[in-house]
Structure 1
Amino acid sequence: MAMAGRIRSTVPIVRKALSSDSRSALYPQLSRNYATAPAKEQKVKVPVTMYGVSGNYASALYIAAVKANALEKVETELLDLIEASKTSPKFSQFMKDLSVPTDTRVKAMTDIASQAKFGDLTKNFLVVLAENGRLKHVDAIAKRFAELTMAHKGELKATVTTVIPLPPEEEKELKETLQEVMGKGKKVNIEQKIDPSILGGLVIEFGQKVFDMSIRTRARQMERLLKEPINF
């Protein structure tokens, strides 16, 4: 009960922290296109800012998929590839092995995409990854792409980490807070994770945002503060 009470007392802090972010900050939009487009070509912007190698590739693929009206098809094909890699350690290792010659990687991915009857967009994208030695990031790229697809449909996945399962009423309140911040028409899906190492409080991750209100982090902050020299 005491632990549940501490979780409950954290929710108002979450509400305040989330509300301080404008929607434009939560959903800034990229202007980078998958390729240089003619002036009259459809302009597409990603609904969530993505960072890093996986984020950049996922954003580029998203833009291309929206233009081709193939968003769900590409997502399904990527997820099928990920599932296949999980059942084949040899294939999974192949994608991570940078010592494999580029020509071999390209041929292998072309053959796999053809056998799986992937569309040209997915096949060409996998070839680009093979050429650039980025196949090892395909799992992360697929996850980022799925996040973009969810955002495209007005959905948001939030991962909430606590020491104990979040009580139903607290999950409901947190979900309402997130939906309030994101605006009407947004559907929030909450995934709960249990991690005793955070000691208490909450860690909320959604999009590229992380709100860390765990006792562990607060303790570390206090420890650093106490170690700082005192100036009189």
Structure 2
Amino acid sequence: MSGVAERYATALYDLADESKSLDAVADDLRRLKGMIEGSSDLRRFLRSPLIDRQAQTKAMLSVLDAAKTGDLVRRFVGVVGGHRRLFALPGMIEAFLRHLAQRRGEVTVRVSSARPLTPEQSAELAETLKKSVGQKINIESKVEPELIGGLVVRVGSRMVDTSIRTQLQKLRRALRAA
């Protein structure tokens, strides 16, 4: 799937670049990504081999219309659906955003926190990470209440986990070993 996702993402990137709509396409894809991540029904729908290709594509286009998605992303999803590849759409979105960030010399950092980060906290974290990484930072934040407190920061393949949940797990293991 990774190869398929990369090829489709590269094609979309080239079209968006050619039409000078990279930012608009990226915004549309981020919204679509949020919808997919926020709905287990939508994720199941995209992965289902039982749903007719045309019905699946038509339903996705209706979702995009309701979200007021731009024409290029609508046409892209139509082609993806027509080729029965909607199951790979989340990977395509990730690949597009990764490609865009790479071309712009940016690094996407995934941050999980127990509560939403304030704009000030996000800016301070981005500035700190920029000094460490040496590139412009885009923060993708996710709220995970089960962390209790602290942060989990992922930069590429590196991860720093300062969550209270992890500290409690370490303490539990240490007490069992004692």
Larger Rg: 1
Which residue does the alignment assign to 2:52? Answer: 101
When normalised by structure 2's length, the TM-score is: 0.61
Q: Are 1:54 and 2:28 an aligned pair?
A: no
Match of 1:193, SS state, is strand
Alignment of 1:158-197 (within 5 A): 172=132, 175=133, 187=135, 189=137, 191=155, 192-194=158-160
Q: Are 1:148 and 2:99 an aligned pair?
A: yes
Distance 1:137 1:102 in 2: 14
Which residue does the alignment assign to 1:79? Answer: 30
Letter in structure 2 aligned against 1:57? Y
Distance 1:102 1:147 in 2: 28
Aligned length in residues: 123
Which of 74, 81, 89 aligns to 1:123? It is 74
The CA deviation string for residues 74-117 of structure 1, in whole angstroms up to 9 with x for no partner, is 11111111211222211110001122111101211221111111
Q: Percent identity?
A: 24
Unmatched tracts of structure 1, length 5 or more: 1-50, 160-167, 177-186, 196-232
Q: Are 1:139 and 2:90 an aligned pair?
A: yes
Q: CA deviation at 1:153?
A: 1.6
Which of 111, 114, 117 aligns to 2:62? It is 111
Q: CA deviation at 1:63?
A: 0.1
Closer, same or farther: CA 119–157 of 1 in aligned 2, 3 Å: closer
The CA deviation string for residues 115-136 of structure 1, in whole angstroms up to 9 with x for no partner, is 1111110000011111111111
Match of 2:20, SS state, is coil
Match of 1:133, SS state, is coil
Q: Which protein, 1 or 2, shows the higher relative CO under an 8 Å CA cutoff with sep ≥ 6?
A: 1
- Indicate if the aligned counterparts of 1:105 and 1:131 stay in contact, CA closer than 8 A: no
Unmatched tracts of structure 2, length 5 or more: 111-127, 138-153, 162-178
The CA deviation string for residues 149-193 of structure 1, in whole angstroms up to 9 with x for no partner, is 11222224589xxxxxxxx9xx94xx46xxxxxxxxxx2658141
Q: Are 1:92 and 2:50 an aligned pair?
A: no
Distance 1:157 1:114 in 2: 28
Distance 1:140 1:106 in 2: 17
**How big is the alpha-carbon RMSD for the aligned residues of Structure 1 and Structure 2?**
2.4
